């Protein structure tokens, strides 16, 4: 019997995502001027207020207020009527220096054997149901949100849109785990006040169906994904009826509260560690990226149609405690999952410093990850300019989403005889 599976996404204006983006913008600013900085930065946002917390070890001084305000304004919180805007919100910093007890385990005098910044387990996942090896429910949910944000920023259609929004996509799967059709799409978007609630609901639903969704589908190039959009999809648009109060005024936001949106939409597994605001010595982030890199390249190489990879670490220890693989019975090689894991251990160096080097994680590359997912994105090289009251203006060529590169497929095929 077929089954249903759902994933959600949120916009860059969602309060938790506002917090994530401020934390990663601060991390990028530190890395732009000190590529050895150690940063663990969290942000809290609420009505008219931002609190920046965490631990930093760096030789450079960063203007946290300017970074936070610029990030908030870029997202779209620029009006006093939102009760949270980049020009007038209060900003409190509670940043202090990283503990020597933590730093001792990381900086042990041997760069190659740099210890993990914390204990924990991290997961990477990939499936061949989409071209970017992501769960189709999450991929579409992200695309709905990013497209809605594009429409809002263009200011030509749906001009009532405000920054906060959420989406959810439910997909029907066959017993064999193959997507068959989209069952339900939920879109909730913050909006300006309307004179009449009934007119408002009708207008927003009509615009979602006739402006947003056609534009979403026009960006999908996979025929098998487009085939999931049948005429019997159930749409729920602003099902509560009204969504004027939103963003940090409608709900508090905190860094790291959207870790499932950030990863695989509930597919596979998650070790519980957040990403945003953490430099790559924190394996919560770097090892999760490395595990995704492995899983994606393994599926692309044809080892399996679906794969979950787990790695775990002890604080201060370089080599992972384990590598675990689950192919969900969809392996294409005559090996057990344990044997596949042993081959992965031979192919990939998962010491924290090796991950940093291979994925180039000491670049200021993280602001772009903080909304619409860290996984499944397009790897590309961009030019980024950083300015500071305390340092020179700096323009850098940055390689984004390095963990999404399919650069190990040939190695894997040779190892597995494919």
Query: 251: annotated binding-site residue?
Result: yes
306 annotated binding-site participant: no
Cα–Cα distance for residue pair 288/308, rounded to 1 Å: 11
73 is in an annotated binding site: no
- pLDDT score of 108: 56
Q: Is 258 annotated as a binding residue?
A: yes
191 is an annotated ligand-binding site residue: no
Domains within the chain, CATH numbers bracketed: 3-10+136-246 (3.30.300.10), 120-127+257-272+282-383+390-416 (3.30.300.10)
Q: Is 79 annotated as a binding residue?
A: no
CA distance 304 to 299: 5
CB under 8 Å to 396, separation ≥6 — which residues?
32, 363, 364, 383, 384, 385, 386
Give me the pLDDT at residue 118, please. Answer: 79
pTM: 0.95
Q: Is 405 annotated as a binding residue?
A: no
In this prediction, residue 155 carries a pLDDT of: 94
pLDDT for 198 equals: 82
278 is in an annotated binding site: yes
Quick one: pLDDT at residue 106?
64
CA distances from 244 to 12, 50, 151, 187, 241 (A): 17, 21, 18, 14, 10
Residue 14 known to bind ligand:
yes
Is 164 labelled as part of a ligand binding site?
yes
DSSP character string of 258-316: -HHHHTTTTSS---S---TTB-TTSHHHHHHHHHHHHHHHHHHHTSBSEEEEEEEE-BT
pLDDT computed for residue 390 by the predictor: 85
pLDDT < 70 regions, the chain = 99-113, 115
Which secondary structure element, helix H or strand E, spans residue 65, and what is its range? helix 64-75
For residue 16, say whether it is annotated as part of any ligand binding site.
Answer: yes
360 marked among binding-site residues: no
């Amino acid at each position: 019997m077929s089954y249903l599976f759902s994933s959600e996404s949120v916009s860059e204006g969602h309060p938790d995502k506002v917090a994530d983006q401020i934390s990663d913008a601060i991390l990028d600013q530190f890395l732009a001027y000190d590529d050895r900085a150690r940063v663990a930065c969290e942000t809290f946002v609420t009505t008219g207020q931002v609190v920046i917390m965490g631990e930093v070890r760096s030789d450079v001084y960063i203007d946290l207020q300017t970074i936070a305000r610029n990030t908030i304004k870029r997202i779209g919180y620029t009006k006093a009527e939102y009760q949270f805007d980049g020009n007038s919100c209060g900003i409190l910093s509670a940043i202090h220096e990283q503990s020597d007890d933590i730093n001792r385990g990381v900086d042990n005098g041997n760069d190659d054997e740099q210890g993990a910044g914390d204990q924990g387990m991290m997961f990477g996942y990939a499936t061949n149901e989409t071209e970017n090896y992501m769960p189709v429910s999450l991929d579409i949910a992200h695309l709905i949100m990013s497209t809605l944000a594009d429409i809002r920023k263009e200011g030509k259609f749906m001009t009532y849109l405000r920054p906060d929004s959420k989406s959810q996509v439910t997909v029907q799967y066959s017993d064999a785990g193959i997507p068959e059709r989209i069952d339900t799409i939920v879109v909730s978007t913050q909006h300006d006040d309307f004179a009449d609630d009934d007119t408002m609901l009708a207008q927003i639903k009509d615009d979602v169906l006739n402006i947003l969704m056609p534009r979403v589908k026009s960006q999908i190039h996979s025929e098998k994904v487009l085939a999931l959009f049948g005429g019997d999809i159930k749409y729920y648009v602003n099902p509560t009826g009204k969504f004027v109060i939103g963003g940090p005024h409608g709900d508090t936001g905190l860094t790291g509260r959207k870790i499932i949106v950030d990863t695989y939409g509930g597919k596979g597994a998650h070790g519980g560690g957040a990403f945003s605001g953490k430099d790559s010595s924190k394996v919560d982030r770097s090892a999760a990226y490395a595990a995704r890199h492995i899983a994606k390249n393994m599926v692309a190489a044809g080892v399996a149609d679906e794969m979950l990879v787990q790695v775990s670490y002890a604080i201060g220890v370089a080599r992972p405690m384990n590598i675990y693989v689950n192919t969900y019975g969809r392996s294409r090689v005559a090996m057990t999952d344990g044997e596949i894991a042993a081959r992965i251990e031979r192919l990939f160096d998962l010491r924290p410093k090796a991950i940093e080097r291979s994925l180039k994680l000491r670049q200021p590359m993280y602001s772009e990850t903080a909304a619409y997912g860290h996984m499944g994105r397009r790897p590309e090289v961009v030019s980024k300019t950083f300015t500071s009251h305390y340092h020179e203006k700096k323009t850098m060529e940055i390689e984004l989403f390095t963990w999404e590169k399919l650069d190990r497929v040939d190695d894997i095929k040779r190892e597995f005889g494919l």
